[in-house]
Amino acid sequence: MTGTLPYRWYTDADVLARERARLFGHAWQYAGPTGQVAEPGSYFTVRAGNVPLIVVRDREGSLRALVNVCRHRGAEVVSGEGRCTSLQCHYHAWTYDLDGALRRAPRSEDDPGFDRSALGLRRAKVDTWGPFLFVNPDPDAAPLAETLGDLPRIVAEGGLDVDSLRFHQRVDYTLAANWKVAVENYLECYHCAVAHPSFSKVIDVAPSRYRLESHATFASHFARSRNGTGGVEGQFHMIWPNIKVNVMPGRPNLSIGPLVPEEPDRTYGWLDYFFAEDVEPDWIADYLKLDYQVGAEDQVLVESVQRGMRAGAFENGRLLLPSEELIAEFQRWVAKGVA
């Protein structure tokens, strides 16, 4: 595949609606660190594609994911994060147990046909990889392990013990670009030497040294530090369809987060940063400074691409292989998924 997807696929609201239903409606999504729901009654809200979810730890200590839509009139039941003993809708006070069962609906005793047992919150799926929590809006989805595939093994063989990592911070961002533009930018380092000079001083981006690898459910970059410093191997993975997993070479670290489509030309994302407890603050500060700079440079690039696609001057582009083979694989995956 050398021709790109049609540019209208990056600007058309109908295409995005199909993507939400067919790509995101059954996909595992990164939701946050497991520490957010460490105690019984702790909860937070998140969106998986376009579906609002609640992640909560119930009284027995089990993790649960519930669709955050009241069975009465469709309001989102709760917002944000916190601690609770039940989940009460802010609209009419329908109250649900932490397992999603409807506990109380004011005035329901006056309705002889009201069946409380049939009106619990719909369940979704939740699972973890180390300190990383994932959700899937499809209650019948295959286990998370099938999506992760060999990724946990690859990360571990690169020298990183994810169970040793501790959550450090979250960084949110918004891009004036289609989510696929942002994914495709992530899937190649053809642009790195030109667009990321600071990154390219740290990482050897020569094609013979910067390795790309495709898997059934994720795509990978393997990078080496120019200074030869030991520690964990540099790895950058995209879990289909939209989850970024970054490991910079050096001290134990990992950042992870999704690219969430909001509109055809607007994408919301975040990265959660994790480090081992003994990583020096100066190393973290230097790494974050570089990462923020690369992110700002990428924002300029993807927003420029979006403007060019929307201009209508061309129907599509032409990929350069093998440097952009992971983009070709991603586009084949998208085309098959929305067909």
Distance between CA atoms of residues 183 and 199, nearest Å: 18
Query: Could you give the number of structural domains in the chain?
Result: 2
**Which pLDDT tens digit goes with each residue over 241-275?**
999 999 999 999 999 999 999 999 999 999 999 99
- Residue 166 located in a structural domain: yes
Give dist(CA 175, CA 77) in Å, integer.
28
Q: Which domain holds residue 50?
A: 34-140
Residue 230's pLDDT band (cuts 50, 70, 90) = confident
Q: Are 273 and 159 within one domain?
A: yes
**The token pair that represents 216 in the structure block:** 């059934």
Its pTM stands at: 0.95
- pLDDT over 70 at 1, yes or no: no
Which CATH number characterizes residue 305's domain? Answer: 3.90.380.10
Residue finishing a domain among 97, 120, 140: 140
Last residue of a domain, one of 140, 156, 172: 140
**CATH code, 53:** 2.102.10.10
- Percent of the chain predicted with pLDDT > 70: 99
Same domain, 195 and 228: yes
Same domain (yes/no): 212, 334: yes
Which pLDDT does position 199 carry in this prediction? 93
- In tens, the pLDDT along 28-38 reads 999 999 999 99
Q: Is 171 found in the same domain as 300?
A: yes
Residue 158, pLDDT above cutoff 80? yes
**Tokens in use for 271?**
């990265």
In a domain, residue 8? The reply is no
- 96 and 170 co-located in one domain: no
Identify the residue with better confidence: 320 or 3.
320
Q: Looking at the structure, do residues 163 and 305 belong to the same domain, yes or no? A: yes
Instruction: Tell me what the mean pLDDT of segment 156-165 comes to.
Output: 97
pLDDT computed for residue 216 by the predictor: 95
What whole-number distance in Å separates Cα of residue 81 and Cα of residue 56? 9
**pLDDT value at 18 more than 70:** yes
Q: How far is the C-alpha of 330 from the C-alpha of 327, rounded, in Å? A: 5
CA atoms within 13 A on the CB side of 330: 27
